[in-house]
Structure 1
Amino acid sequence: MKGFKLGLLSAALVMAGGSANLSAAMIKTPLYMNYADSGVNVEQRLKFAGKSKYKITVPLEKGTYKVQISDEGLQCGLRFGPAEESKLRFSKPHDLSNCAEERYYELKILFAGNYELILDNSDADKPTLQVSRKAQASTFKRKPPAVDCIAWDGQPVTVDVSSTFKNGQTVKDFYSGQTQKVANGKVTMQPDPASGGILLLEAADAKASEFSWDNASVYFIMTDRFNNGDTSNDYPLNRKADGKQEIGTFQGGDFSGITAKLDYIKDLGMNAIWVTPIVEQIHGFVGGGDKGSFPFYGYHGYWALDFTKIDPNLGSEEDFGRFVDEAHKRGIRVLVDVVVNHVGYPTMDDMQTFGINAMAPGAPVPEKWTDWQPDFDKGHNWHRYNNFIRWSSSEWVDNWWGPDWVRSGMAGYTAPGGDDITMNLAGLPDLLTESTKHVGLPPILKNKKDTKAVEREGYTVLDYLVEWHTNWVRDYGIDGFRADTVKHVEPEVWAKLKDAATDALAEWKSKNPEKAIDDKPFWMVGEVWHHGAYRDFYFDNGMDSLINFEYAGDSAALKGSQCLAQNEKMYASYAKDINSDPTFNLLTYISSHDTKLFYSNYEDLPLQAGAGTALLMMPGGVQLYYGDESGRPRGPQSDAFDSPTRSFMNWEQIAKEADRQALVKHWQTVGQFRDRHVAIGAGEHNKISDQPYAFSRTKGDDKVVVVFAGIKQ
């Protein structure tokens, strides 16, 4: 988890709650088309056109429309319409009021087509709006930069496989299913039309390899955004939809939904699933983004309130146990995301629920505090509620987490430091994992009737956290952890957690031999922000692998997706470094919840297929972020930069669109080939030829050859 830009507990909890700056000609808040009958259309956003002008081209059918230009919150100062209702005539500027309230321009369309509207705010005191008909809609699709690559004429490809397969041995292209005997050390085959010019060669009688974490294929799921398997748990704990873009609200995904899609995940060749944190989150919302443009709940799982309970939005403990058991039956391991660095922000709902009486007298809040909404007409936003709370009240010491448990910017607490370990990451309360003080339960859990947390004699903060996290392993047989914010916690903490989790999994397997998927020990992969492809001290402190930011972070993933041969240097170096050291591994990705979706760069399905080939041939472990395989589109833009990466899984597109189905099929085929052959992730890499580009991977008796014919001319 990269830090969310909220800053709620830092800088003396100063919040941006004021109205828009109306004097500036430059408008930084997104503006959209606003229709009297249907409201703000966030799909129709105006683009900056230079010199304080903003424009949009919209398709309109014949008819009469009542229109404004406004921000999503309909703030006075950003709601542009007529001073008095009037008609909007073509090709002439019309004066605007920036606080038009319910006054709209009437736009009469006689011919269906594309129409351009330009808002000119060069003079902020006299903004204007002009409309004109466009002869043809402007359709621009961004293209990736060209790369040097070998050319292919579309004909059958001959490749020398003598270093891998024997003369007379029957070789199979896993992609197309065609077979051929090796003659004079060579085979000649026609790449499948859907393959992008690749051959995936194995011995025709090859048996699938035994699972190894060195060849892990991990499917990463943000549980709330994947699949809704049980609508009865969509809005517990006073949580609700916002009725707008639902950027920061729970959207219904749950463990039952994942269980229903396990066969889909298995068909992708995935042998492990990583789910975002499962524990109970803060109940209420905070202001989302720098400008507080939406209510932000802990749907993602990184804002814990109770580490001993499953968050009810995700389902019950029975639902979770069923998910783990069904995954294991299919040969899929389960990794759970864990957070040891911090807990969640304070919210109005949690204050009221757990008796933190720090609301200012006379605060303009409803009887149920979590029902509060900002007054958008006054320019307020979702950060505004912070102005009603007495942050210096002793209630925060007595009834929240308490100064023995966290450091924060509030009175009575240890102030955050200036380094990675002691900082309040994104203003989040920092758990005192380094403390040697023996402590009881934090006040908020003492006041929580349904917690399973038990006060222990002689326990430190870290002792509690280790027990709480490893109890999930002991109870359900979780196979591993993905550790969040690793560099913000003392390294020895991770070693202690790993040792305890290893013991817990061994205990579970001894008690549940009929459920145990294998006899492998507990596995842990860590997120160290911007860590690349090198080994360091984290591997001596509990980590079996680290997430590799290098491949997705520069141009390598893009180049390799266009031309597989571009990955040769990285394939060779990764295979050498990773597979020559049994204590070193990486988990490489192209998309994540903290950075970007690879697909969103160019929205190009053939490029996305190439990305699948390039990633799945990577040495070490690989991570697919849900929807990589289907070209999942990004979600609505907001002032929280990472929110578009958390869109709901595009099941409807997959069901209806043949090209999406073909894309998924491609990822399935290459993913299954990887899963069959441990040599791909854990084997020795040798380049065979430049044209066609071909390489072998070998580990013991497991041998494959991968061929890329080139870009078809």
Structure 2
Amino acid sequence: MFAPKKLALAALVTSLLVPSAQAIIKTPIFLRIAEHDYAAENRAKFKGKGKYKATVELEKGTYHFRLADKEFSCGTSFGPEAAEKIKFKTPVPVSDCATDTDFSIRILFPGEYEFTLDTKADSGNAISVMRKPKKVAVVRKPPAVDCGTWDGNAVEVNVSSVFKDGELVKDFYSGQTAEVAGGKVSMQPSKESGGLLLLEPAKAKPSDFDWDNASVYFIMTDRFNNGDTSNDYPFNRKKDGKLETGTFQGGDIKGIIEKLDYIQELGMNAIWLTPIVEQIHGFIGGGEKGSFPFYGYHGYWALDFTRLDPNFGTDEDLERLVTEAHKRGIRVVIDVVMNHAGYPTLDDMQTFDINALAPNAPVPDQWTDWVPDEKKGQNWHRYNNYIRWGSSEWAEKWWGPDWVRSGMAGYTAPGGDDITMNLAGLPDFLTESEKHVGLPPILKNKPDTRAVEREGYTVVDYLVEWHTTWVRKYGIDGFRADTVKHVEAEVWTKLKDSATKALAEWKAENPDKAIDDKPFWMVGEVWHHGAYKDFYFDHGMDSLINFDYAGEMQAVKGAQCINQNEDLYATYAKDINTDPDFNLLTYISSHDTKLFFQRYENLELQKGAANGLLLMPGGVQIYYGDESGRPAGPMSDAFDSPTRSFMNWDQLKGDRAALVAHWQKVGQFRNNHVAVGAGEHKMLSEQPYAFSRVKGDDRVVVVYAGEKK
């Protein structure tokens, strides 16, 4: 609730005809949001048929709003009768005399949101809100920054604090060597390096692996490489014959095995795979407008946590992946989801005999064969009309009310906080429950599940057992924990403790396959978490994904010239590398945010992005295709679809081959030297920009000559 005088102007509706109880009047109406000020150019416009729309850019958070004139006059102040939470794309009747009440809305994904006032709705005046699909990306020029200038000749730098006089130093990038004289070394950066020198002792040996210097190659399994075309369409999954935005595209574990040498050559010492467990079999409607069928190709919509999804491969494939990765010094990290299960689909209803079809529903032989009738105005969201969400079958044959909260009949309703909400409408596991439960009905009726009913188990006990079985059986080295803030912190502690024990047991039983004696590692995704330490590190997390670097303009500046990262390098090294219990995983691209290459489509800038990221203190995450300038996928009304394009293997020639070669050089240098990620940072000179990283006996100096004249 907020007072009119404290409201912020968000968008102006000029010359707006608004019906009132007395007459049609002409008055300016404003979309007013309490929490933030927005620029006046965000205007709502008359769209005909009594509809008026305002589009505003919103960050993640909870907002309170209403539409009203400047005086909040009765007749032109549109809001709820009482404070009310609004649902997306759901018209809500409004009072035109809401002088002291407001709607609230929770924004989970930053972007443009459209607020619509409909003065001719069937039930009277109504307001609705929807997220607007992202517009076609506009290629932009990066902001100008001061890189310093370089005349193209040899570069001299004082390295006396790192290397001794007479010591032979090698530039890892070009292979050339020089002797330190008078505390200085002079070298000519190679043409391919863009003015970069990566200096190490000429006789330097690669460091032992340390998670503090992790270089993690993040792969969306379905979109990376198709190594086995025979598993492309299990469960009668299908292509849509159009953009294939939300369909499985064939990437699998065999495909990753085929590319392990490529990943090793990038200097990566770990791979992170999106969830590999069996997904919902059917589809839901994809995007705001239901413009495509959306399968669980990404892995985050689990149906059975005990089985590999056949689209991704077999148990034998996973075992071989771990074995072959370990041979190459690469650890295997898999994504785990403790917060939610996958959506209900018509195909899974059919498979598991959930008789909750609406009377008007068609009954195809296989629900994955169904397509909406566009001539009748149908889209892929139409399938929702064929389901009786109030049927008792959902409680009796699906996950069951002891397992998840859901808006369906017989289930605990979702709450309004991070722990009890249905994130994106997904069924939310009752991870807080201490009730002893049996298997969920859907798994009891699934002949091939490996889930076993345990006496005295809670929901969390089952989830922990299911996830850590992959560790105990195959030697998985770490977890990337999804949606961490939506699960109680104590749950992550329990998962980490169990996984640590499981990996130790596997290593003891498989000493010839164990890559090292390091304990189990876990990194968490806490949406928009920045570069700071908090309680998550006391609850199982060895590292957290760092949203700061990619979320600001810093990554772009650092890609143009790494001297722009000096303050950040110094701060990160001080905070991370003086605390053995604190680390970060910094990135420039991800499946949930954006591709760095998408914004600028500049191969030279993408080359510089390698320098800025791979020379970062702490751990780093490379999203598949960062190193190759992978183009964005087709734009759709799903905000994240462009980030999930198939790996651009066919483009790796010419300029893109040179781009990959640069990432390989810098990545191998990082992997060879634990000091890069885990060492003490010291700036040696401003021009040329030079810094050292030192950890124990490991010593390196990085030099950036500047922008060539």
Unaligned ranges ≥5, structure 1: 1-20, 29-139
Q: Does 1:699 align with 2:678?
A: no
Aligned partners of 2:139 and 2:428: how far apart in 1?
A: 44
Matched pairs, number: 581
Matches within 5 A, 1:401-416: 401-416=399-414
Q: What CA deviation, in whole Å up to 9, does each residue of 1:255-292 have, x standing for no partner?
A: 00000000000000000000000100000000001110
2:474 corresponds to? 476
Write out the 4+ residue segments of structure 1 that deviate beyond 4 Å after TM superposition. Answer: 21-28
> Which residue type is aligned with residue 582 of structure 2?
F
Q: 2:525 aligns with which of 524, 527, 543?
A: 527
1:307 corresponds to? 305
Aligned partners of 1:243 and 1:362: how far apart in 2?
A: 27
2:343 corresponds to? 345
Aligned partners of 1:329 and 1:203: how far apart in 2?
A: 27
Matches within 5 A, 1:306-455: 306-455=304-453
1:547 corresponds to? 545
Aligned partners of 1:489 and 1:141: how far apart in 2?
A: 38
> Which residue type is aligned with residue 665 of structure 1?
A
Residue 26 of structure 1 and its aligned partner are, at CA, apart by 11
SS in structure 2 opposite 1:313?
coil
SS in structure 2 opposite 1:334?
strand
- Percent identical residues: 77
1:711 corresponds to? 707
SS in structure 2 opposite 1:202?
strand
Residue 24 of structure 1 and its aligned partner are, at CA, apart by 9.6
**8 A Cα contact 2:483 2:526, kept in partner:** yes
> Which residue type is aligned with residue 300 of structure 1?
H
2:642 corresponds to? 644
**8 A Cα contact 1:200 1:704, kept in partner:** yes
- CA distance 1:23–1:294, change in 2 (3 Å): farther
SS in structure 2 opposite 1:571?
helix
- CA distance 1:151–1:417, change in 2 (3 Å): same
Q: What CA deviation, in whole Å up to 9, does each residue of 1:445-501 have, x standing for no partner?
A: 011010000111110000000000000000000000000000000000000000000
Q: What CA deviation, in whole Å up to 9, does each residue of 1:601-630 have, x standing for no partner?
A: 100001000000110000000000000000
Unaligned ranges ≥5, structure 2: 1-46, 55-137
Residue 23 of structure 1 and its aligned partner are, at CA, apart by 6.4
**8 A Cα contact 2:139 2:598, kept in partner:** no
Residue 411 of structure 1 and its aligned partner are, at CA, apart by 1.3
SS in structure 2 opposite 1:383?
helix
Aligned partners of 1:441 and 1:454: how far apart in 2?
A: 7
> Which residue type is aligned with residue 502 of structure 1?
T
Q: Which has the higher contact order (CA 8 A, sep 6+)?
A: 1
Aligned partners of 1:27 and 1:369: how far apart in 2?
A: 37
Matches within 5 A, 1:280-291: 280-291=278-289
Q: What CA deviation, in whole Å up to 9, does each residue of 1:272-328 have, x standing for no partner?
A: 000000100000000001110100000000000000000000011111111111001
Matches within 5 A, 1:22-61: none
Q: Does 1:676 align with 2:672?
A: yes
CA RMSD, Structure 1 to Structure 2 (Å) = 1.5
Aligned partners of 1:189 and 1:647: how far apart in 2?
A: 41
SS in structure 2 opposite 1:609?
helix
- CA distance 1:22–1:514, change in 2 (3 Å): farther
1:662 corresponds to? 658
SS in structure 2 opposite 1:697?
strand
Residue 529 of structure 1 and its aligned partner are, at CA, apart by 0.3
Aligned partners of 2:290 and 2:369: how far apart in 1?
A: 16
Residue 361 of structure 1 and its aligned partner are, at CA, apart by 2.2
Aligned partners of 1:144 and 1:23: how far apart in 2?
A: 42
Aligned partners of 2:270 and 2:670: how far apart in 1?
A: 13
Aligned partners of 2:347 and 2:654: how far apart in 1?
A: 45
Q: 1:570 aligns with which of 568, 593, 596?
A: 568
The farther-off stretch of 526-535 and 355-364 is 355-364
Residue 27 of structure 1 and its aligned partner are, at CA, apart by 12
Residue 403 of structure 1 and its aligned partner are, at CA, apart by 0.2
Residue 362 of structure 1 and its aligned partner are, at CA, apart by 3.6
Aligned partners of 2:512 and 2:200: how far apart in 1?
A: 33
TM-score normalised by structure 1 residue count: 0.80
**8 A Cα contact 1:365 1:372, kept in partner:** no
Q: What CA deviation, in whole Å up to 9, does each residue of 1:138-178 have, x standing for no partner?
A: xx953112112211111111111111000000000000111
Matches within 5 A, 1:596-635: 596-635=594-633
**8 A Cα contact 2:215 2:267, kept in partner:** yes
2:684 corresponds to? 688
1:40 corresponds to? none
Aligned partners of 2:366 and 2:158: how far apart in 1?
A: 73
> Which residue type is aligned with residue 187 of structure 2?
M
**8 A Cα contact 2:282 2:367, kept in partner:** no
- CA distance 1:670–1:365, change in 2 (3 Å): same
1:594 corresponds to? 592
Aligned partners of 1:549 and 1:663: how far apart in 2?
A: 25
Residue 388 of structure 1 and its aligned partner are, at CA, apart by 1.1
The farther-off stretch of 583-592 and 353-362 is 353-362
> Which residue type is aligned with residue 203 of structure 1?
P
Q: What CA deviation, in whole Å up to 9, does each residue of 1:53-111 have, x standing for no partner?
A: xxxxxxxxxxxxxxxxxxxxxxxxxxxxxxxxxxxxxxxxxxxxxxxxxxxxxxxxxxx
Q: 1:208 aligns with which of 202, 206, 209?
A: 206
Residue 364 of structure 1 and its aligned partner are, at CA, apart by 2.6
Aligned partners of 1:162 and 1:185: how far apart in 2?
A: 4
Residue 25 of structure 1 and its aligned partner are, at CA, apart by 11
**8 A Cα contact 2:139 2:599, kept in partner:** no
**8 A Cα contact 2:238 2:368, kept in partner:** no
**8 A Cα contact 1:578 1:584, kept in partner:** yes
